[in-house]
């Protein structure tokens, strides 16, 4: 029996309100050879961090998996993008607007959003860019700590054509130590153009 391309959806995960799009994305993933390995957390709130992020294709495969699962994983995007015609397509699949001119910064906006929702999964690329960076952005740790939400690690590996769900992590008061521990977990995995140093 062949291994499933996507894991089972846990009971507490927020769901997408569609059957057609998940079916279509699962069909395309089967053709592509990409799989999501591991077990999704049975939690109503979680921050998912994916790395190494070195290509636009990471977003393509990740979005296909997210929709294929039928799980509503929110992804931050500039508000201006969603205010245009693309918003009609992107809002229903979980892209959420970030107001960079608001009084609250992005971390505070996300902390407040977690407080306002009974269920919320948030996807973040901690590098913040596809380019090689020496330091990851610490926003995901600050959001996790202030909103009291666990972090789900997600390892991207192009040689095996897999995204793999790793351990859950709780942010401590020592973000520097947390960052060192988390980055070390990602080092064995290879993105399209690089790995995590």
CA–CA distance, 40 with 9 (Å, rounded to integer): 7
Q: Does residue 189 surpass a pLDDT of 90?
A: yes
Do the domain assignments include residue 61?
A: yes
Do the domain assignments include residue 3?
A: no
Domain count, the chain: 1
Q: What is the pLDDT of residue 162?
A: 95
Q: Does residue 2 surpass a pLDDT of 70?
A: no
CATH number of residue 112's parent domain: 3.40.50
Residue 36's nearest CA partner among 72, 9, 15, 17 is: 9
Do the domain assignments include residue 153?
A: yes
Instruction: For residue range 121-142, list pLDDT tens digits in order.
Output: 999 888 866 777 777 889 999 9
What band does 104 get if pLDDT is binned at 50, 70 and 90? low
Average the pLDDT over each of 9-13, 44-48, 132-136, 154-158 and give the range with the smallest value.
Answer: 132-136
Do the domain assignments include residue 6?
A: no
Do the domain assignments include residue 33?
A: yes
Do the domain assignments include residue 5?
A: no
As a whole-number percent, the residues of the chain with pLDDT over 70 amount to 90
Output the six-digit token pair for 52.
């190494």
What band does 35 get if pLDDT is binned at 50, 70 and 90? very high
Do the domain assignments include residue 10?
A: no
pTM of the model: 0.89
Q: What is the pLDDT of residue 29?
A: 94
Do the domain assignments include residue 88?
A: yes
How much of the chain is in helix, strand and coil states, percent to nearest 5? 35, 20, 40
Decide if 38 contacts 165 (C-beta within 8 A).
yes
Output the six-digit token pair for 62.
């990740």
Instruction: For residue range 148-158, list pLDDT tens digits in order.
Output: 999 999 999 99
Q: Could you list the residue range(s) of the whole structural domain that residue 156 is in?
A: 20-186
Strand partners, 185: none
């Amino acid at each position: 029996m062949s291994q499933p391309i996507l894991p089972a959806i846990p009971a507490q995960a927020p769901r997408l309100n569609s059957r057609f799009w998940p079916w279509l994305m699962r069909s395309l993933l089967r053709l592509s050879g990409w799989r999501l390995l591991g077990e999704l957390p049975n939690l109503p709130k979680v921050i998912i961090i994916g790395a190494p992020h070195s290509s636009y294709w990471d977003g393509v495969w990740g979005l296909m998996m997210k929709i294929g699962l039928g799980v509503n994983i929110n992804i931050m995007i500039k508000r201006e993008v969603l205010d245009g015609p693309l918003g009609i397509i992107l809002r229903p699949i979980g892209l959420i607007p970030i107001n960079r001119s608001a009084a609250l910064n992005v971390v505070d906006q996300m902390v407040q959003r977690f407080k306002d929702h009974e269920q919320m999964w948030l996807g973040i690329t901690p590098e913040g860019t596809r380019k090689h960076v020496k330091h990851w952005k610490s926003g995901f740790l600050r959001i996790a700590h202030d909103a009291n939400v666990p972090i789900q690690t997600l390892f991207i590996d192009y040689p095996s054509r897999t995204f793999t769900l790793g351990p859950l992590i709780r942010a401590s008061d020592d973000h520097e130590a947390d960052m060192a521990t988390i980055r070390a977990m990602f080092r064995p995995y290879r993105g399209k153009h690089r790995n995590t140093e």
